[in-house]
Structure 1
Amino acid sequence: MAASPTVVSPGLAVNLLGSLEVWAAGRRLELPASRKTRALLGYLILIRSPQRRDRLCELFWEVPDDPRGALRWSLTKLRPLLNRDGVERLTADRERVEVVSDDVDVDLRRIQACADDPEAAFEDLAEAWRTADNILLDDCELANQPAFAVWLDRERQALAQLRAGVARRLALDFETGADEALVWAVRWLDDQPFDPDAARAVVAMTRRARGAEEARRSADELETVFRDAGLTAPAWSTPAVTSAAPSDRPRPDAPRPRQTVRFVRAADGVSLAWASVGREDAPPLVKAANWLTHLELDWEAPIWSPLYRDLAATHRLVRYDSRGCGLSDWDAPEISLETFVSDLEAVVDAAGLERFPLLGISQGASVSIEYAARHPERVSHLILFGGYPAGWRHIATPAEVREREAVMVLTEAGWGRPDPAYRRIFSGTFMPDATPDELDWFDEFQRQTTSSRNAVRFLQAFSELDVRHRLGAVKAPTLVIHSRGDRRIPMATGRELATAIPSAEFVGLDSNNHLLIGREPAAADFTAAVRRFIAEA
């Protein structure tokens, strides 16, 4: 691994890649011996916004300590490092702490700027990749601080994605020798080992550099890697690769299917928005609400839009926004399994549906299971995708509980901020194979769809779901679909769900994503399985 580069600057410079370093006028400054103080510095440089003192205490210090005293001590060590040359960069009052670092040369920002520059030269991109080929804040990991560990892990994942994007450009966008192009394709694949485009690039560049026989061996090896991971290997016939063709991505100006949005009052008076799309005389299909939706913005989504368009071509698709998000009331007195189920009852009654297939995705599967158990006469078919019967509070280890609760704290602190780092805690695990553009879209979509308070309320409600005792009561023909590489809800959970529901059918999809991306082949496999099941059951 390359060493973190030394930046000689007439002002202040900070290297976040590799061991944390601070430079002033070309001289490396001595940092505090305290690992937590160094971690605090790296965090404040990266986050670039005012941070509440109590939030910093939660991130960096254990409860038995005197966290406010420890924070004050750390700030006294950081002030002389940052407040130099008459510039006060570290500011703090009784409530908040902030590092204003716009005039600081930060290595990670230089890499990002280079990656974002469509006119960047090959040499500049190659240097950016070499700088990025280091561990972010390598000497700042903190044992027993799960909230900080979650944040740091997400930032490192974002760095790997940034590095992969740079390697992709170096492999595909420049006229280089075949051997050099192969080197960059391999580096791209190293950071995204299950990206079919990266795999195809490696095979194509191997063919150029070393001939057809070596390319065939490379393809065979990669097929084994994909197969061992439960994935379908890429087709090797097309050497040109793109992450997702622009024509395949939903555009903001793409015409939306004609839908009718209406509102219904829930049992406790909450206003619920629901919509119907497709022919009124088509057979119905009801989708239970899940994290997170917006009846209007969904049509721009790289996730939902292609699936909804496909299903609405043959069904009258009825869907709704859960209380607390989208077009439904955000100010809901209660968010729980009971209200989720009663809201579904209100929507299907308002839609005038007597008997219908019911689709539940993620936690919407638990809601659908409970509804089907209560109303066997109304559910003709039950389809569950990425579902689970019990929230994590019922099954997690003490360490997992601490980590999940830390994520909830992070969510409340950073949900509404322009910086997507907090929201990407979810998008990264929901869709590990998404492109940067798709993740950016989903990050912003989540921010617009609900408040930070409600996001935490949803997470709390999801953690408490438990319909395990209801699985045997499901009478409807049931199809359980699950992504084989799902990193949020393991496929084993889907198999257990299918085992516990009488006579349930199980279908595995070749995807790593908990939420399917419309462009991936698994999305078409999903809609085909749903149509086939409804027709045959």
Structure 2
Amino acid sequence: MTTVITEDGIQLWTSVSGRGAPLLLCHGGPGLWDMFGDMAALVAGSARVVRWDQRGCGRSERCEGPWTTTRFVADLDAVRHHHGPGRIALLGHSWGAQLALAYTLAHPERVRALIYVAGTGIGPAKDWFEPFRKNLLGRIGEDPERLARWRELTDRPERTEVEERERAELRWSAEFPDRARAPEHARRMADPWFGINDECRARLDEELSATWRDPAIEAACRRLDVPVLIIDGAHDIRPRSAVDSLEKALPRVRRVVLPEAGHLPWVEDPDGFRAAVSGFLTSAVSGAVSDSRKSD
């Protein structure tokens, strides 16, 4: 474990494993922490994996923000500089995919490759949020008792830490199409438990909803001269069509859809995920990445 200090004095938890060219991981949320232990082990043979907890979250220093994409891009650059400091490959998951894309658009000269996992594209949130909400309730509602308990906990104005974790596990279990193993996967996500930073989550979600549909973002994507791999799980409860606009805008892109996976594809199809990431990183290092828009 290594602490990285940002220019405004906030301490960020980071961890490095593996060997090879650096691959920096951006976890999901907002307001969560790095849960990439399994993923790091999968790709450690082909990359030096750098993990970190975003400001105010997980093992990083608790603080009052600011909770903006611009601030988080600067934090990400501090981690890159500390562990780099040259060009890196970036992998972001969910909200972390949006953050990694924002960083790449801001600093394309510092990124040799981008892996965009289970993000929600560059269109307006209305294009995907209502179907996502319906799918979420449908997955949890397969067990009426679990749905009733989740709603009970969600409606409480105050919750204990134990109840917060229980609520999170019920919610996260909806991310896995293998319903028999979903509770187990959700428990592993919550262990260790650091508590969700709700203010961070709310502020960044609000910002993304207001700004991510900006036509300037699409124009910047069209100019981006960085190879990009998009990885989706076919059974993600967020409609994968939300990512189509991003795929169409990128000039150097490959998209892989793992047919048996959900929102955390490395958990349910580790072999397919490792093959996609390792092959892409090898191609990116050699400069052999080509534009391929077919789903695998």
Which band: TM-score by shorter chain? 0.7 to 0.9
Give the one of 251, 270, 293 matched to 2:33.
Answer: 293
SS at 2:81 equivalent: helix
Deviations, residues 303-354 of structure 1 (Å, cap 9, x unaligned): x333211211221111111112221012233222122211101100111321
2:97 aligned residue = 365
How far is 1:420 from its partner?
4.6
Work out the CA distance in 2 between the residues paired with 1:397 and 1:442.
23
Query: 1:459 deviation in Å?
Result: 4.1
- Which residue identity lines up with residue 436 of structure 1 in the other structure? P
- CA 1:355–1:410 in 2, change beyond 3 Å: closer, same or farther? farther
Distance in 1 (CA, whole Å) between partners of 2:168 and 2:160 is 6
Residue of structure 2 in register with 1:472 after alignment: 222
Cα distance in 2, alignment partners of residues 533 and 400 from structure 1: 29
Partner of 1:504: 253
User: Once the 2 structures are TM-superposed, how far is the Cα of residue 512 of structure 1 from its aligned partner?
Assistant: 4.0
What's the offset of the Cα at 1:286? Answer: 1.3
User: Structure 1 residues 268 and 450, CA, compared in 2 at 3 Å: closer, same or farther?
Assistant: farther
2:115 counterpart of 1:377: no
- Shift of the 432–275 alpha-carbon distance from structure 1 to 2, 3 Å rule, reads same
Give the superposition deviation at 1:418.
Answer: 3.9
Report the AA paired with residue 227 of structure 2.
P
Return the letter of the residue paired with 2:100: S
Deviations 1:245-273 (A, max 9, x none): xxxxxxxxxxxxxxxx1112223322111
The Cα shift of 1:444 comes to 5.0
Higher RCO, 1 vs 2 (CA within 8 Å, ≥6 residues apart): 2
Is this contact kept in 1: 2:225–2:252, CA < 8 A? no
Evaluate the alpha carbon distance shift between residue 486 and residue 421 of structure 1 in structure 2; reply closer, same or farther with a 3 A threshold. Answer: same
Equivalent pair of 1:410/1:422 in contact (CA under 8 Å): no
Q: Which residue does the alignment assign to 1:145?
A: none
The 8 Å contact of residues 13 and 59 in structure 2, kept in 1 or not, is answered as yes
Partners in 1 of 2:78 and 2:33 — Cα distance?
18
SS in 2 for 1:439: helix
* Gapped regions of structure 1 (runs ≥ 5): 1-260, 299-303
Following superposition, the deviation at residue 398 of structure 1 comes to: 9.2
| Secondary structure of residue in 1 paired with 2:58 | coil
Q: Determine the C-alpha separation between the residues in 1 that align with 2:156 and 2:171.
A: 10
| Greater Rg over alpha carbons, structure | 1
Deviation for aligned residue 1:375: 1.2
Do the aligned residues in 1 keep the contact of 2:43 with 2:274 (CA within 8 Å)? yes
Offset at residue 374 of structure 1 (A): 1.4
Cα distance in structure 1, aligned partners of 2:156 and 2:123: 18
AA of the residue aligned to 1:450: G
Q: 2:172 is matched by which residue type in structure 1?
A: S
CA distance in 2 between partners of 1:390 and 1:274 (Å): 28
Identical counterparts, % of pairs: 27
Q: How does 1:35-434 map to 2 (within 5 A)?
A: 261-279=1-19, 282-291=20-29, 292-294=32-34, 298=35, 304-390=36-122, 410=155, 413-414=158-159, 416-418=161-163, 420-433=165-178, 434=181
Asked whether the equivalents of residues 431 and 514 of structure 1 are also in contact (C-alpha less than 8 Å), the reply is: yes
- Assess if the C-alpha contact under 8 Å between 2:172 and 2:186 holds in 1: yes
User: Which residue matches 1:490?
Assistant: 239
**Alpha-carbon RMSD:** 3.1
Match of 1:439 in 2: 186
Q: Which of the numbers 184, 187, 205 marks the counterpart of 1:462? A: 205
Amino acid at match of 2:2: R
Q: Distance in 1 between matches of 2:63 and 2:156?
A: 18
Distance of aligned partners of 1:346 and 1:414 in 2 relative to their CA distance in 1, 3 Å threshold: same
SS at match of 1:414: coil
1: distance between equivalents of 2:71 and 2:116? 20
Is the Cα contact below 8 Å between 2:55 and 2:61 reproduced in 1? Answer: yes
Say yes or no: does 1:532 pair with 2:279: yes
Contact kept? 1:390, 1:464, Cα under 8 Å: no
Q: Give the distance between the partners of 1:399 and 1:523, measured in 2 at CA.
A: 27
TM-score (norm 1): 0.43
Decide whether aligned partners of structure 1 residues 459 and 313 sit closer, same or farther in structure 2, where only a CA change above 3 A counts.
farther
Q: CA deviation at 1:472?
A: 2.4
Residue 366 of structure 1 contacts residue 467 of structure 1 at CA under 8 Å; is this kept in 2? no
What is residue 195 of structure 2 aligned with on the other side? 450
Cα 1:532/1:410, change in 2 over 3 Å: farther
Q: Secondary structure at the match of 2:90?
A: strand
Q: Which runs of 5+ in 2 are unaligned?
A: 137-150, 284-288, 290-296
The structure-2 alpha-carbon separation of the partners of 1:436 and 1:337, relative to structure 1 and needing over 3 Å to count, comes to same
Contact 2:174 2:182 in 1 (8 A): no
Q: What is the distance in 1 between the residues matched to 2:129 and 2:100?
A: 27
Cα contact 1:385–1:481 (8 A) shared by 2: yes
Q: Is the 8 A contact 1:359 1:382 kept in 2?
A: yes
Distance 1:491 1:443 in 2: 25
Q: TM-score, normalised by structure 2?
A: 0.75
Determine the C-alpha separation between the residues in 1 that align with 2:104 and 2:255.
18
Q: Distance in 2 between the 1:493 and 1:359 partners?
A: 19
Structure-1 residue corresponding to 2:139:
none
The letter for the 2-side match of 1:286 is: L
How many pairs were matched up? 257
